[in-house]
Structure 1
Amino acid sequence: MSTTVSAETTATTTAYRTPQVDLALLLVRIVPFGVLAVFGAQKLFGAFGGGGLTATEASFAQMGYHPPLFFALLGGGCEFAGGLLLLFGALTPLAAAMVMGVMINAFAAVADKPLETAALPVILLVIAAALAFSGPGRFSLDAGRPWQRTGFTWGGVSVALAVVTAGASLVVAH
């Protein structure tokens, strides 16, 4: 069984890649998505001073998500798993789609709030989208692996998956 990697993927992973770019991608992954994984752990497990699943379920119910337990698990799970996967640079297009989808929903929930509240979901969404197109860099679990996918096509698929799933959850939940 052979694995073929498109010319686009090969060009994307080798062109313009310097150690400085790979280090920058590592830093861009570690801080925001480490924090996002902590937020997910707070929602799911009550870790790091979070309210846990019961509080998250109540919060989702208050925001109008029904059934609230399902959406609490989905939202917290996407924050936790997507954050960890992007932190480590693993399954990047899928992880980016998870994060973008939950950030679209997070933005929808706070769109009427002040800018400082609504800014974080937008920032995380844009960083995840950038990583979906660029790839996680050399210092990642994806680097050089047969499953590594980067480039315009995979970034586009990731964004499309996020938009479709986020839109579906917004329509179904309310």
Structure 2
Amino acid sequence: MPAGDLSFLGFESAPSDTTVFPWREESGASTVDEPIPTTTVVAVRPWAAEVGLLVARLVLGGTALLGGARTLFDLPRGHGDGTVATQTLLSGLGFRPVAELTAALGWVQLVAGLLVMVGVFASFAASALLAIHLVAVVTSVGAAWSAGAVGPVEAPLFGLALAAVVVLAGPGRISGDADRPWYRAQTPVGLTCLLVGVATGLTVLIAMRA
């Protein structure tokens, strides 16, 4: 077809197809699209949130640490015989064997509380405290229902919530766990620890309570 017949399409003055198809301006150029550079965005919690996690850890771990010291060694003094009081409480709630459970409770509170406070294996340690507080919440529901008040279940529920926060959110950057492999995989670690804590608490309630 004569070139004049194509003038209305704009081809007449084009020396080659590079004018109409500018991506072919070099005969040796590759037609493969160039890779688009990407930027990795890393979400970082603000420092106010890190301080909040530190406060949650100190309250949760410090309370557990004092509870374990009182159960095992009657420390601080002035609260009576912690071991006998704990054994009486567990026996009244129907738990067996009382002596072994009292010793286990005291040592778990002591060790897990210390680990949570310093932020070392914090999610794992907090899962043990979550199990303890879950048992306390379940065993307190009956008394709260009978009294028509939240008093009996208030403290265990508060501890359960704090433990869940540390388990799921992790210890934060102000901790001994910062930049550890498990710290960088907090979501799977937190969910696993949550399941372990709940399963442990339910096992104690089902298998060790008459």
TM-score (norm 1): 0.83
1:161 equivalent to 2:196? Answer yes
**Which has more radius of gyration?**
2
Residue number in structure 2 paired with 1:77: 107
Cα distance in 2 between the residues matched to 1:153 and 1:54: 40
**111, 124, 130: which is aligned to 2:141?**
111
Query: Structure 2 regions of 5+ residues with no counterpart?
Result: 1-40, 145-149
Residue number in structure 2 paired with 1:101: 131
1:151 equivalent to 2:186? Answer yes
Residues 123 and 150 (structure 1), Cα distance of their counterparts in 2 relative to 1, 3 Å cut:
farther
Deviation at 1:92, TM superposition (A): 1.6
Residues 100 and 150 (structure 1), Cα distance of their counterparts in 2 relative to 1, 3 Å cut:
farther
Indicate conservation of the 8 Å contact 2:131/2:197, yes or no. Answer: yes
Cα distance in 2 between the residues matched to 1:103 and 1:149: 27
Cα distance in 1 between the residues matched to 2:72 and 2:139: 19
In structure 2, give the amino acid aligned to 1:136.
P
Residues 150 and 47 (structure 1), Cα distance of their counterparts in 2 relative to 1, 3 Å cut:
farther
Q: Per residue, is there more helix in 1 or in 2?
A: 1
Cα distance in 2 between the residues matched to 1:113 and 1:86: 30
Indicate conservation of the 8 Å contact 1:134/1:150, yes or no. Answer: no
Deviation at 1:138, TM superposition (A): 1.2
1:56 equivalent to 2:86? Answer yes
Indicate conservation of the 8 Å contact 1:93/1:150, yes or no. Answer: no
**15, 22, 46: which is aligned to 2:50?**
22
Cα distance in 1 between the residues matched to 2:199 and 2:130: 11
Deviation at 1:76, TM superposition (A): 2.1
Deviation at 1:93, TM superposition (A): 2.0
The higher relative CO (CA closer than 8 Å, separation ≥ 6) is in 1
Aligned residues: 162
Indicate conservation of the 8 Å contact 1:129/1:155, yes or no. Answer: no
Indicate conservation of the 8 Å contact 2:68/2:106, yes or no. Answer: yes
Residues 36 and 122 (structure 1), Cα distance of their counterparts in 2 relative to 1, 3 Å cut:
same
Query: Structure 1 regions of 5+ residues with no counterpart?
Result: 1-10
TM-score (norm 2): 0.70
Residues 44 and 21 (structure 1), Cα distance of their counterparts in 2 relative to 1, 3 Å cut:
same
Residue number in structure 1 paired with 2:117: 87
Cα distance in 1 between the residues matched to 2:92 and 2:68: 18
